Amino acid sequence: MMADDVNEAAPDTAPEGAAPEGVGRLSKRARHERIVSELMACSTLRVSELAAELGVSTETIRRDLFELSEKGLINRTYGGAVRPLGTEPSVSERHRMMVEEREAIAAAAATFIKPNEVVAIGAGATTTHVARRMAAVCRDITVITHSFSVATVLAANPTITVLMCPGRYNGREGMMVGAETVEFLQSYNANWAILGASGITAEGLSDAEADAASVYKAMMLRAIETIAVADHTKFSQQSLAIWGRWHDVKRLVTDEAPAFAIARALERGRVEVTVAPKRSEA
């Protein structure tokens, strides 16, 4: 065993609220893996919360965050860390997160769609929930999408016509992207674009995938009105590529009302906000 590993296994002064007595102390490598994993799931972490959860001192967590930041795995902030721009769990992982919130958002968003309308739907976990709800409650609509999961859940409803975009396949996200995808979208008009986001700030909406952001922007420009669908964990998160400004968006459907700078930006952009109650609150 190397000296550094011996030191890591030595007792550490744990903060108040540390892990319960008897919980095994993790090695530095295990802590680092845990921190990165947690950050991929919730996008932002605080030093005090990590120290309590991992049963170590805040000084140890700060050293961990410094080392992870030096490796480019996280971005440090005052009091914690955020995941780097351009990173997000895969769509298959995201499907298992915030399920109740996304189902509530989907139920609210689907109410705006009427028969004989054309809807462009972007890729993502939340938009797939919306598509599943649309398959259950909508009839006689046409959907344009570049997402295989969206197309698959819509196929359960024979009254819905699905137009699948061509392009380059992104297997991690299960979507088509690229110049062919954008060019295909230029040939259609839509009543609605329903689009998700990796990040929401006062500046607008962004996505971790630059190619996806280009497709979302093309959908938005071909639609009469755009509905953004995203849960509250996306608030105040910045992602790599901005695809929309608030003056381009008709409505935000979310699970909690945004506050502060985002709320003021929505008001300036005249964006209508729909807060979808979770089943336990309805």
Q: What confidence tens digit (pLDDT) does each residue in 137-185 have?
A: 999 999 999 999 999 999 999 999 999 999 999 998 999 999 999 999 9
Report how far apart, in Å, the C-alpha atoms of 120 and of each of 36, 138, 155, 186 are: 34, 14, 15, 12
Is residue 71 domain-resident? Answer: yes
Confidence of residue 13 (pLDDT cuts 50, 70, 90): very low
0.75 exceeded by pTM: no
**133 located within any domain:** yes
Across the range 245-268, mean pLDDT stands at 96
Helix/strand/coil for 118: strand
Q: Which residue, 61, 82, 103, sits at the end of a domain?
A: 82
Query: Based on C-alpha coordinates, what's the Rg of the chain?
Result: 21
On whether both 258 and 140 belong to a single domain, the answer is yes
Continuous segment of H or E residues that includes residue 176: strand 175-177
- On whether the CB atoms of residues 175 and 212 are closer than 8 A, the answer is yes
pLDDT at 42 over 80: no
| Other residues' Cβ atoms within 10 Å of the Cβ of residue 105 | 28
Q: Are residues 51 and 132 in the same domain?
A: no
User: What share of the chain in percent tops pLDDT 70?
Assistant: 83
Q: Are the C-beta atoms of residues 147 and 123 closer than 8 Å to each other? A: yes
**Most distant pair of Cα atoms in the chain: their distance:** 70
User: What is the residue-wise DSSP string for 182-211?
Assistant: HHHHTT--EEEEEE--SEEETTEEEES-HH
- The one-letter amino acid code at 78 reads Y
120 lies in some domain: yes
Total domains, the chain: 2
pLDDT-derived band at 91 (thresholds 50, 70, 90) equals low
281 in a domain, yes or no?
no
For residues 65 and 124, membership in a common domain is answered with: no
What is the CATH classification number for the domain harbouring 218? 3.40.50.1360
One domain, residues 105 and 37:
no
Q: Is residue 280 part of a domain?
A: no
User: Is pLDDT of 3 > 50?
Assistant: no
Which has the minimum average pLDDT: 32-36, 74-78, 252-256?
74-78
Could you tell me if 139 and 255 lie in one domain? Answer: yes
Tell me which of 32, 47, 82 is where a domain ends: 82
Domain boundary (82, 108, 141) is at 82
55 and 98 belong to one structural domain: no
Domain with 50, as residue range(s), is: 3-82
